[in-house]
Amino acid sequence: MILARLPLSDPPLDPSGDEARSWLRQELLHPEYHQQNVVEQVITWLQRQVDRGVEAASHAPPLSTFAAMLVFLLLVGGLAWLLSRVRRTARQATVAGPVLADETVTADQLRSRADAALAEGRHAAALVDGFRALAVRQVERGRLDDLPGATAHEVAGALATAYPEQRQRVGGSAALFDQVLYGDRPATREQATVVLALDDELAGRR
């Protein structure tokens, strides 16, 4: 882009480092560099490749055309998979909601629901209700302040202060809660069991 804007009749240039950086900054100020985001640029590039592929296929043998189409489809599929992973990761990294829903329920009730869900193989529900039981139980025991809108991260921070030796396990359980409830990730039986075991251990402390 930079060289294309220089007059062809000019002699070869040998700019200094400062001059080259200045030219680059001036070039990047042009609006075409700021009109599209990365995804749009990729889509535009793919459209160009499709147009070129169609034009080239009209003059190529059938076997070569088939091979080119196959490679192109693999590239498109790989790009779609990559974009879906990026969007999902971004959503998981930014989305966080409160631990408790708008309901009045005791820790024992939540734990009973978690145990029932675990027995039925509903591991995600067991993990979510298990972490909620853990949080409510610590509120009932006076180890946490009653903050209805608290996020899992905030609950984990408060629990880590109350139980510093369990900081890693508490943080891991809170991360699993967010990933399962707000990140649409599946949960395993082992993950749900880890959260329930942490509730049991903290419940037995004085």
What does the pLDDT look like over 121-138, one tens digit per residue? 999 999 999 999 999 999
Write out residues in the chain with pLDDT < 70, as ranges. Answer: 1-43, 46-47, 49-51, 53-72, 76, 78-103, 205-206
DSSP string, 42-108: HHHHHHHHHHHHHHHHTTS-HHHHHHHHHHHHHHHHHHHHHHHHHHHHHHHHH---BSS-S----HH
Compute the distance between CA of residue 1 and CA of residue 57 in angstroms, rounded to an integer: 29
Q: How many degrees, rounded to 5, is the angle at CA 130 between CA 201 and CA 136?
A: 80
Q: Is 122 left (phi over 0), alpha (psi -120 to 50) or beta?
A: beta
pLDDT attached to residue 6? 46
Residue 94: per-residue pLDDT: 43
Q: Within 13 Å and on the Cβ side, how many CA atoms surround 98?
A: 10
Length of the chain as a residue count: 206
The pTM (predicted TM-score) of the whole model is 0.55
> pLDDT value at position 104?
79
**The pLDDT of residue 4:** 47
What string of DSSP letters covers 117-162? HHHTT-HHHHHHHHHHHHHHHHHHTTSS---TT-BHHHHHHHHHHH
Return the pLDDT at 77.
73
